[in-house]
Structure 1
Amino acid sequence: MFKKKEELDYAKVDTIIGKETSFNGQFNGKGILRIDGKIIGEVIQNGDIIVGETGIVEANIKGRHITVSGIVKGNIEASGLLQLLSTAKVYGDIKIYKLSIDDGAIFKGCCEMIREEKTIEKEESKKVV
């Protein structure tokens, strides 16, 4: 599915929001973000995002490859693959390059497929300051 260099390496997670942790506001980061706690607001990650089974995200999410096995209430924009695992519950619109939904996952919203993989950095560099 991914080229060798694009595979997610879960052992190299840069930031973890733990089960007992909650965050309210705009979260910006680089690398791999794993959410096992709760985030309310907005998540913009220049990299990959993993929402664990205990993760609850009430926010719009932007990232490269996004894997969800918890709950997301908000819109998702993935420049690469959006993967909804069997325990995932997503309530919001998605704009993605690739999509994978496992049996048992719940998705309620609209889906827009983008033609080519775009990174957040490329989109940001196109904006005129």
Structure 2
Amino acid sequence: MNPPENSTVIGKSVVVRGDISGKEDLFLDGDIQGNINLSENRLTLGPDALIVADVTVRDLVVFGKLTGNIYATGRVDLRQSASVIGDITAGRLSIEESAMLKGHVELKAVEAQPTAVSQRTSPVASSKPLVLQPKS
């Protein structure tokens, strides 16, 4: 697997014990223990990655193994070879067949910037909450 273009690379022979933070996209394929904070950037965990960390990112793509909680303002992609043990809080989540996830998922809507159209329209008011129930 080739790292995404314009990403900083930490290779599979690298071992890191401590926190990682930065303001650029990062590709990790090594053995990392600590917290990872790239709140405005994309993190890609390669197929050889062995990560034990809480991760705070904009977007996350996982090919390897991650034990820890994920906080992503954008999208989390768990690819076919991914293994994640921990809770995920994200704007969007994609899980490929054969990926493994053990934890809870909470999807949160990303706050969109108001547009000219949305500023002119009024919200729809409803006096009753929407309740969905399975068919009997």
TM range (shorter): 0.7 to 0.9
**CA distance in structure 2 between the partners assigned to 1:111 and 1:19 by the alignment:** 28
Which residue in 2 is equivalent to 1:83? 77
Structure 1: stretches of 5+ with no match in the other structure: 1-8, 119-129
Identical aligned pairs, as a percentage?
A: 33
Aligned: 1:41 with 2:34: yes
**Segments of 4+ in structure 1 off by > 4 A?**
none
Instruction: Report the TM-score when normalising by structure 2.
Output: 0.77
Match of 2:9 among 3, 6, 16: 16
Aligned: 1:69 with 2:63: yes
Deviation at 1:36, TM superposition (A): 0.6
Is the partner of 1:31 in helix, strand or coil? coil
Instruction: Report the TM-score when normalising by structure 1.
Output: 0.81
Given that 1:36 and 1:54 are in contact with CA atoms closer than 8 Å, whether structure 2 keeps it comes out as yes
Structure 2: stretches of 5+ with no match in the other structure: 113-136
Deviation at 1:117, TM superposition (A): 5.3
> Which is richer in helix?
1
Matched positions, count? 109
Larger Rg: 2
Q: CA RMSD in A?
A: 1.5
